[in-house]
């Protein structure tokens, strides 16, 4: 098989540290599986603003279009202004430009509470044990992208507008993806919306209900987003696949990360119609701890597992990485963000070494 082309976009803050960790693990997994990987590195976010004056260069987007997969770190930091009126200077624009430019409309955010992490969760152990849910977040529509979107002057001062727009095909394709995923899991799908207030949500509900007719083997239900935000903490074990629009999914997955112990634990896969995918931890660039070697690389490492699964179609290698992470957590290794009070902590590098080792000697895992 020809070598798979992986574009690596470390970005800013802890992005380079966790991406380096993920890449080491990816290499170990690929070696075991007999997969060949070719890496190409490029700058995005604040790093690209500094080097090129824009957060995402057109050639970077073109490079990604020729890739099999993209390994992404994180973007942003105090050095670059998230509120800059010039969008090409905002680091976050790079990520949004990649998602949109590559047509990655479905963002998979699995939330699995590892047995070893039950005590670290923000919730009581009996509530989070065995939590295994998958949020499918719509990623290229809604408030993030719809027009008009601007700030303008009025006689009474400044005003601003963002627009939430969804079309039937946009809802349908992400719903289909979510139903397909539910079929591979426990066959339950919950669609989360705000149909009591939003016109887009009423359309969302109609379209999801129509798609559900094609999946009679999947139990489909609907919930309002405010109620779901509460139920997610009250009975997280009850959920399997959740499909929701862009901004709701953004907010709900940060909330869900608290079930798993920390934001640094959660991976994500952004997929479109084909096998090209962008893989990134759901956490940000954490500038306060950047360069200290203490960042939690597990979200990035588990993103590498998703890359093996969804873009390289190598389920065995993906599971080998996931098992290695579980093994290392069971052995008690903890970065600072997931350590209990009084528990010893290890560096980004040390926990990565342990994962790589566990992949290389699977007999011990």
Which H/E stretch holds residue 108? strand 106-112
Answer yes or no: 12 catalytic: no
Answer yes or no: 100 catalytic: no
Q: Which of 144, 166, 215, 279 is catalytic?
A: 144
**Taking CB within 5 to 8 Å according to partner kind, which of Mg ion, ligand IPM, none is near residue 95?**
ligand IPM
Nearer to ligand IPM, 70 or 211 (CB): 70
Cβ neighbours of 198 (radius 10 Å): 15
Could you tell me the smallest distance in angstroms from the CB atom of residue 153 to ligand IPM? 27
Nearer to ligand IPM, 48 or 282 (CB): 282
Q: List, in order, residues 6 or more apart from 131 with CB less than 8 Å away.
A: 111, 112, 113, 236, 237, 259, 260
CA angle 180/185/203 to nearest 5° reads: 45
**Taking CB within 5 to 8 Å according to partner kind, which of Mg ion, ligand IPM, none is near residue 103?**
none
280 binds Mg ion (CB under 5 A): no
Burial label for 273, CB within 10 Å (0-12, 13-18, 19+), is: exposed
Q: Which of 12, 114, 250, 337 is catalytic?
A: 250
111 bridge partner residues: 133
- Tell me which residues in 250-289 interact with ligand IPM (CB under 6 A): 250, 282
What is the per-residue binding string for Mg ion in 232-261, x denoting contact by CB under 5 A?
------------------x-----------
In the numeric block, which tokens belong to residue 263? 């934001």
Output the DSSP codes for 42-76: ---THHHHHHHSSSS-HHHHHHHHT-SEEEEEE--
Kind of pairing between the strands at 277-281 and 157-161: unpaired
- Cα–Cα distance, 106 to 174 (Å, whole number): 6
- Cα–Cα distance, 209 to 165 (Å, whole number): 19
190 bridge partner residues: 221, 242
Answer yes or no: 254 catalytic: yes
Of positions 6, 9, 43, 95, contacts ligand IPM by CB under 6 A: 95
- Of all residues in the shown chain, the one whose CB is closest to Mg ion is 250
Of positions 33, 52, 63, 92, contacts ligand IPM by CB under 6 A: 92
Nearer to ligand IPM, 268 or 352 (CB): 268
Span near ligand IPM by CB under 6 A; candidates 64-72, 88-96, 163-171, 186-194: 88-96
| List of residues contacting ligand IPM (CB under 6 A) | 92, 95-96, 250, 282
| List of residues contacting Mg ion (CB under 5 A) | 250
Catalytic residue annotation: 144, 194, 226, 250, 254
């Amino acid at each position: 098989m020809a070598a798979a082309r992986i574009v690596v976009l470390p970005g800013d803050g802890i992005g380079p540290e966790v991406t380096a960790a993920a890449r080491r693990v990816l290499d170990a997994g690929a070696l075991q599986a007999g997969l060949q990987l070719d890496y190409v590195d490029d700058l995005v976010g604040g790093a690209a603003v500094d080097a090129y004056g824009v957060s995402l260069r057109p050639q970077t987007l073109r490079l990604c279009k020729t890739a099999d997969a993209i390994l992404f770190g994180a973007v942003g930091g105090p050095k670059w202004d998230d509120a800059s009126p010039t969008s090409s200077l905002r680091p976050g624009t790079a990520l949004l430009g990649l998602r949109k430019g590559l047509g990655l409309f479905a963002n998979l955010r699995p939330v699995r509470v590892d047995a070893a992490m039950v005590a670290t969760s923000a919730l009581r152990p009996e509530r989070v044990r065995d939590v295994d849910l998958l949020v499918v977040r719509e990623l290229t529509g809604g408030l993030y992208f719809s027009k008009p979107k601007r700030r303008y002057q009025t006689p009474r001062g400044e005003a601003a507008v963002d627009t939430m727009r969804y079309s039937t095909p946009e809802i349908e394709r992400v719903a289909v993806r979510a139903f397909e995923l539910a079929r591979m899991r426990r066959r339950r799908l919950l669609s989360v919306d705000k149909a009591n207030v939003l016109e887009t949500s009423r359309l969302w509900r109609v379209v999801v209900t129509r798609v559900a007719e094609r999946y009679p083997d999947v139990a489909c239900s609907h919930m309002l987003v405010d109620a779901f935000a509460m139920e997610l903490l009250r009975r997280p074990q009850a959920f399997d696949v959740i499909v929701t629009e862009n901004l709701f999914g953004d907010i709900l997955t940060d909330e869900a990360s608290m079930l798993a112990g920390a934001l640094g634990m959660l991976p994500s896969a952004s997929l479109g119609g084909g096998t090209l995918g962008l893989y990134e931890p759901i956490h940000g660039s954490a500038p306060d701890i950047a360069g200290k070697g203490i960042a939690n690389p597990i979200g990035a490492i588990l993103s590498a597992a998703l890359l093996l699964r969804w873009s390289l179609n190598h389920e065995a290698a993906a599971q080998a990485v996931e098992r290695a992470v579980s093994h290392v957590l069971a052995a008690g290794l903890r970065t600072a963000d997931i350590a209990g009070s009084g528990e010893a902590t290890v560096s980004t590098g040390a926990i990565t070494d342990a994962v790589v080792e566990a992949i290389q000697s699977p007999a011990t895992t």
